[in-house]
Amino acid sequence: MKNVNLILNVILTMAVVVLFALYFKDKKSGGDGVPSAAVAAATTNLRIAFFNSDSLMAQYEYFKVERAKLEEETKRAEQELVGKQKAFEKEATEFQQRAQFLTITEKESKQEKLYMQQQQLGQLEQQLTNKLSQQESEVNKQIFDTIETFLKDYAKKNGFTYVLSYARGGGIWYAESKLDITADMLKILNEQYANKKTE
């Protein structure tokens, strides 16, 4: 789930870069040496809000439900893999104990079978890892898309020019608490999720 925070921090960083680019681009001024972007910002109703991405992910029901599903799927995959590994190890141990009583042909046949089982275990582990990674990626995309769609509508309705994400140690080091829309976002997003579940 760290991917969601990473994606949100990347968007935040891009927004900051764009703001800097606008600020330093074309130092056209109104005669006092102030860049045109600064003049534009001063003369427009620039409204910025932010949300705490850590709090959002900790309290957003959709995220919590999907994370629990992923954890359950991971646990199931691990149990399947551990079960097959134990069965393989048991069979390999039994072979070692009986090897002295087998003919060369039987030994070679059993060794080949064990080698194939070991290869299959490696493939299964890779398949399960890929499947879980793909599921996590899809869930992160769905959550990201939901939040992005919500924020576009929310910003438009509330007249925000920018909505940034805040995470401790991220790109924003300070933000005025009155600009924090996290609680409002959680209330609306959780209501939307609850309504979607009942449909």
pLDDT digits (tens, 9 = 90+) for 72-90: 999 999 999 999 999 989 9
The rounded distance, in Å, linking the Cα atoms of 6 and 170 is 9
C-alpha distance from residue 187 to each of 32, 109, 110, 130, 181 (Å): 46, 64, 61, 34, 10
pTM: 0.66
Show the domains of the chain with their CATH numbers.
2-198 (3.30.910.20)
The rounded distance, in Å, linking the Cα atoms of 199 and 183 is 25
What's the mean per-residue pLDDT of the chain? 83
The rounded distance, in Å, linking the Cα atoms of 179 and 167 is 15
Confidence class for position 3, pLDDT limits 50, 70, 90: low
- Residue holding tokens 């890892």? 129
Q: How many residues does the chain have?
A: 199
**Range of 25-34, 43-52, 82-91 with top mean pLDDT:** 82-91
Q: How much is the pLDDT for 169?
A: 83
Please write the tens of the pLDDT for every residue from 94-144.
Answer: 988 888 888 899 889 989 999 999 999 999 999 999 999 999 999 999 999
- Mean per-residue pLDDT for 20-49? 57
